[in-house]
Amino acid sequence: VAARVLVNPGDVIFAEAPSYAGGMAVFTSYEAEIVHVPMDADGIIPDELERLIGEVRAAGKTAKGLYTIPNFQNPGGVNLSAQRRLQVGEICRSNDLLIFEDNPYGLRSRW
């Protein structure tokens, strides 16, 4: 529902690489462009997210938001570390990016 209201054709949505195909299908159905951000054992790599935001904006595109599965990420199984959550949140805040959190396993996590 959020994508339908907030995402315009051509907007860029950042997502973990790899990411849940069902989530990607939602955004692409509204004609968003998906840009994948590399992950490591602690989740999405903040420096890579910042770099990709810069590239997208330099290309004249609208960086709209980040789609993330912070707990037991699908298909990677990674949990976004506490430090990374703060870093990624700050990057999104300072760049006016929406965070589309897909957290079906949140109650199974200590976060």
User: All domains of the chain, ordered by start, with CATH?
Assistant: 2-104 (3.40.640.10)
pLDDT value for 65: 98
Task: State the Cα angle at 53 between 93 and 84, rounded to 5°.
Answer: 55
Structure tokens at 68: 């993330």
Q: Which of 13, 49, 60 is nearest to 34 (CA)?
A: 13
Over 70: is that where the pLDDT of 109 sits?
no
For the whole model, what pTM was predicted?
0.92
Residue 106 scores a pLDDT above 70: no
CA distance 21 to 39: 16
pLDDT, tens only, 49-85: 999 999 999 999 999 999 999 999 999 999 999 999 9
Rounded-to-integer distance, Cα 111 and Cα 107, Å? 8
44 pLDDT above the threshold of 90 = yes
Calpha distance 52→49 (Å, rounded): 5
